[in-house]
Structure 1
Amino acid sequence: MIRVAIVGTGGISHAHIGAYLHFPERCRIVALVDIIPGKARRVKEQYGLDAEVFLDHHDILDRKDIDLVDVCTPPFVHAEISINCLRSGKNVVCEKPMAASLEECDAMLKARDESGKKLSIIAQNRFREPIRNLKALLDSGMAGPVRHAQINSFWFRGHSYYDLWWRGTWEKEGGGCTLNHAVHHIDMLGWMMGTPERVTSILANTAHDNAEVEDLSVSVMEYPGALATVTASVVHHGEDQELIFQCEKAKIAAPYSVFASQPQPNGFPLKEPDRAFREKADAFIASLPPVPYEMHTGQLDNVLTALETGGDVAITGEDGRRTIELITAIYKSGAERKTAALPLSREDPFYTVEGIRANVPHFYEKTVSVMEQSGDMTFGADFRQGGEKK
């Protein structure tokens, strides 16, 4: 039985709690930690958990009855809490983004290596069936090499979204929509195409004058023989999120879409697509086994399995760091108004939290700060095979 402590009992923690409760024979939540008095206790009562409640993660470090700590706090303390827990002999799952800087990511990796414990960074969209299918189709080589990737990380957040105490500042949120929303899609791009050679970006805040951070960014990433365009936004109505890969032989995408153009002798496309290619792609997708558990449930199932068997976690600290490096390159390029080359060195001012804060644009002053907000947390459009929303 794996004993779990959850640090941070805000909105995203409910997805984690629900996932653990899916496996009552394998794990048990034994501790809840939140700095806001009464918050963890309310969550305990909501789910009927037999768990102790704490105000500070330091209170659980010496506990021997905790095997796994799940960090669901705001980003600015991800590294501190994860490192402390790893050093105290506990395995760690950390919500996205991994940390506020590459320096913090490297410190987390060092603590993992020195402790011999496991570290997994949340990237739950990899456990969505359409995303798994898209990755498998790309890896099969059926469509040929990628020529262009179009990553639409489209979200909508009203003006009051940034009123929550930790949001909207470089100090506590660590960034805007690029770091905290597009992190999902940038992770998937890195998973499917790897790290680009260069990044050119523009940052803007178009609709949230109570936030220092960006609410819109547009980036071009250069790969050998290919380009990727990434739009990160919290100003898009409808939240229609897409991953579109234009390959040599066809377009393939999530939500699931396949289209193979056929050229005429003059190079112009025929009116009818290559239906044989579509049928071949459909048959390939149909041959794949179902994903047993999706989203957070899928990833946390993988973490539990790794702890039970001594195997590796599917999404590692290195995966989390790669995503932070791409996001940092976006911020560096947008702030300096020039192309950023990868990899970023330890001497780069954007390697540290202090360097990022000193160099990024502060669009507006945060003037409203509330401890809690009412309303449901929604996750945007999903990537189901037909593209329909939940």
Structure 2
Amino acid sequence: MIKVAIIGTGAIASAHIKAYQQFADRCEIIALCDLYVEKAKSTVEEFHLNAHIYTKCDELLQDTDIDLISICTPPYTHAEIAVAALNAGKHVLVEKPMAASLEECDAMNDAQQKSGRVLSVISQNRFTNPMMKLKSILETGLMGPIVHTQVDSFWWRGHSYYDLWWRGTWEKEGGGCTLNHAVHHIDIFHWMNGMPSEVTAVTTNTSHDNAEVEDLSVAICSYPNGSLGQITSSVVHHGEEQQLIFQGKNARVSVPWKVRASKSKENGFPERDHELEQKIQQHYEAVTDLSYEGHAAQVDDVLCAIEGKKSVLVDGHAGRRTLELITAIYQSANTRQSASLPLNESSPFYTRKGILENARHFYEKTASVKNFSENVITTGGKYE
């Protein structure tokens, strides 16, 4: 039986708890940690947990019964907690984004390598039937080389969203919608399409004058083969339509699922290639559905890795690549120059210190509340 602790009992912690509870024959939540004891007590009661409550991480890490820790705290704390947990011999599942800087990602991966423990970064959107089916389609090569990718990471958040004490600042949240919302789709983007060689980006804040960070960004990603990708990250889009579209030389596919294929008439104008569309559709329908989806599927993935059955799908290196692409967007937008990848210690945005020194403040944070009375979050599109 794998013993689990959860650090941070804010809104996202409930997704972890519900996921672990689906595998009650394999794991048990035995500890919670939060600065606010009442929040932790409320969580224990809500989910009927038999868990000890800690207010300090270092005390929790001394509990030798704990095998696995879920980190559900604000991004700026992820690295410190994860490194300490790995050094204490614990396995770690950390919420997105992996950390607040590439330097911190590298420290986490170094600690993982030295400890030999499992480190996985939450990327629950990979663990959905639409995404797994799309990934399988791309791997068939039926579409031909990818020539253009479109990522619409559209979310909507009201003005008060950034009143929460840690949100809306470079120091504590680490960035705006590009880091904390589009991270899901940017992870999918590089998982399916590989890492670009160059990024050119613009960021702005259109609707949230209580935040230092951006609420809208647009990035163009360039690949050595000439392919382009465009990523729009937003918390100002009503309706929150979210999609990824891959245009190949032979066909186009997307989530939400749609397939179209064209072939050329004698004069170069298009006509539907129904035969290729049917072949792609048949492959899509033949892909077996997942046993679990979302956080539950990723928890299952981590438990299997701890049990020695497989490696995790999303390890610390995959988590770093996601942050690397996001960092390139911030670097380009703030320096007003294209950013070349890979990024390393020479990047002005490699460290938290560098980010704080170089990131533009659109506004200064003017409000700070400890907690909202409502602890329910929404997670955007279902990709169906």
Using the size of structure 2 for normalisation, the TM-score is 0.98
Residue equivalent to 2:221 = 221
Q: Are 1:95 and 2:83 counterparts?
A: no
Q: Deviations over 1:89-125 (max 9, x none)?
A: 1000000000000000000001111111110000000
Residue equivalent to 2:177 = 177
Residue equivalent to 1:245 = 246
Residue equivalent to 2:318 = 319
DSSP 3-state at the match of 2:370: coil
Residue equivalent to 2:16 = 16
| One-letter amino acid matched to 1:195 | M
Q: Give 1:180-191 correspondences, 5 Å limit.
A: 180-191=180-191
Q: Deviations over 1:325-354 (max 9, x none)?
A: 000000000000110001112122211000
Matched positions, count: 382
DSSP 3-state at the match of 2:89: coil
Residue equivalent to 1:387 = none
Q: C-alpha distance in 2, partners of 1:141/1:111? A: 37
Q: C-alpha distance in 1, partners of 2:308/2:86? A: 19
Q: Are 1:261 and 2:262 counterparts?
A: yes
Residue equivalent to 1:204 = 204
Q: Deviations over 1:4-24 (max 9, x none)?
A: 000000000111100000011
Residue equivalent to 1:388 = none
Residue equivalent to 2:144 = 144
Q: C-alpha distance in 1, partners of 2:171/2:191? A: 28
Residue equivalent to 2:135 = 135
How much does 1:310 deviate? 5.2
Q: C-alpha distance in 2, partners of 1:100/1:313? A: 22
Q: C-alpha distance in 1, partners of 2:286/2:309? A: 30
Q: Classify 1:63/1:310 alpha carbon distance in 2 versus 1 (closer, same or farther; 3 Å).
A: farther
Displacement over 3 Å in runs of 4+: none
How much does 1:76 deviate? 0.4
Pick which of 55-64 and 40-49 moved more: 55-64
Residue equivalent to 1:81 = 81
How much does 1:279 deviate? 1.3
Q: C-alpha distance in 1, partners of 2:267/2:4? A: 63
How much does 1:276 deviate? 1.5
Pick which of 205-214 and 368-377 moved more: 368-377
Q: C-alpha distance in 2, partners of 1:181/1:67? A: 29
How much does 1:59 deviate? 1.0
Kindly report the root-mean-square deviation, in angstroms, between the aligned alpha carbons of the 2 structures. Answer: 0.8
Using the size of structure 1 for normalisation, the TM-score is 0.97
| One-letter amino acid matched to 1:306 | A
Flag structure 1 segments of 5+ consecutive residues without an equivalent.
385-390
Flag structure 2 segments of 5+ consecutive residues without an equivalent.
none
Q: C-alpha distance in 1, partners of 2:119/2:310? A: 12
| One-letter amino acid matched to 1:129 | N
How much does 1:373 deviate? 1.2
Q: Deviations over 1:167-186 (max 9, x none)?
A: 00000000000000010111
The answer (yes or no) to whether the contact 2:219–2:230 under 8 Å persists in 1 is yes
Q: C-alpha distance in 2, partners of 1:28/1:267? A: 62
